[in-house]
Amino acid sequence: MDIKQYLDSTYLKTADQAGLTEAENRGVVRNAVREAIDENFKLVMLRPDMVAMARQMISDARSTVTIGTVIDFPAGKGSLEAKLEEAVKAIEDGADDLDFVLDHEGFRAGNAEGVRKQVLECTRLGLSHGKIVKWIIEIAALNDHEIVQLSALVKNTVMMHFEETAYSRVFVKSSTGFYVTADGKPNGATVPAIKLMLENAYPLPVKAAGGVRTYEEAVEMIALGVKRIGTSSAKAIAEGGAADPGY
C-alpha cells in the first residue's frame, strides 16, 4: 500500500522545545517542507509562524503538497475570538488545513455550550474559506465516555449547521502529541480510542495523530477507517522503517 497520501508530515516543536536557536529550528522546518515535496506527502503540518515560508517554498516548487497548521495549540484554552484571530492569520499566510485544539478542559468543567460554539464558529470560518478543519479532542486527557461525547459533539454540531457536502472536510483528530501523561501512558492515537472516535464521529472523517510508529501500525489505522495520520516520521513510516520516539 502506498500510504503517502494518508500522511501529514508533522513538525510542531518550538526552538526551545527542540533545543535549537530560532534560525536552526527554521532550518529544520525548511528541511521538513523539502522532504514533504520530494516524497509527495499529503500535507506538511507546521506551527502558524512557519506557514508563510512553507507556502512560498511549495509554490516555488510547483508542488501539490498542502499545508496544515495548528490553532490555539497545544492547550486549546483560548477564547473563541483568539481562535478566530489566529485562524484568519493562518488563512492569510496560505494554510490549507486548520487544526483547532478543542477546549477539552472547558468541556470537562461543564462548558459544553461554549465548546460547541467554538466548534461552530471556527468550522464556519474555515469552510467559508475553502479550508479543511480538524478538531483535536486530546484523547489522552479523556476517559472513554468523554471521547465518545466530544466526537459526537463535533459531529452533531457540523451535521446540524452545515450541508452534507461539508462533512468530509471536517475531521475529528485524536491528539496534539504534546499532552503530558502520567506513568508513561500513551499521549497519541491508540486503537481502542480511534475505534471510539470512528464510531461516534461518523460520517465525519478521523485523523490519528501521534502514536503511529511503524508502517504496519499506519496500515492498521487505515484499515480501521482513518483518513489521515499525523507523524513526525512520515518518511520512515512510508519506507517501512522505525519512527522517532516523538510526535
Segment holding 218, helix H or strand E: helix 215-224
Instruction: Find the catalytic residue in 93, 99, 131, 134.
Output: 99
Instruction: Find the catalytic residue in 13, 131, 155, 207.
Output: 207
At 182, the pLDDT band (50, 70, 90 cuts) reads confident
Domains of the chain: 4-238 (3.20.20.70)
Q: How far apart are CA 246 and CA 233, in angstroms?
A: 9
Mean pLDDT of the chain: 95
* Residue 173 annotated among the catalytic residues of the structure: yes
Interval 15-44: pLDDT, tens = 999 999 999 999 999 999 999 999 999 999
* Residue 195 annotated among the catalytic residues of the structure: no
The CA distances from residue 198 to 23, 155, 207, 221, in Å, are 40, 11, 9, 11
Angle, CA 179 vertex, CA 102 and CA 13 arms, to 5°? 95
* Residue 227 annotated among the catalytic residues of the structure: no
Rounded average pLDDT over 85-106: 98
At 185, the pLDDT band (50, 70, 90 cuts) reads confident
Whole-number pLDDT of residue 183: 79
Instruction: Find the catalytic residue in 42, 83, 134, 173.
Output: 173
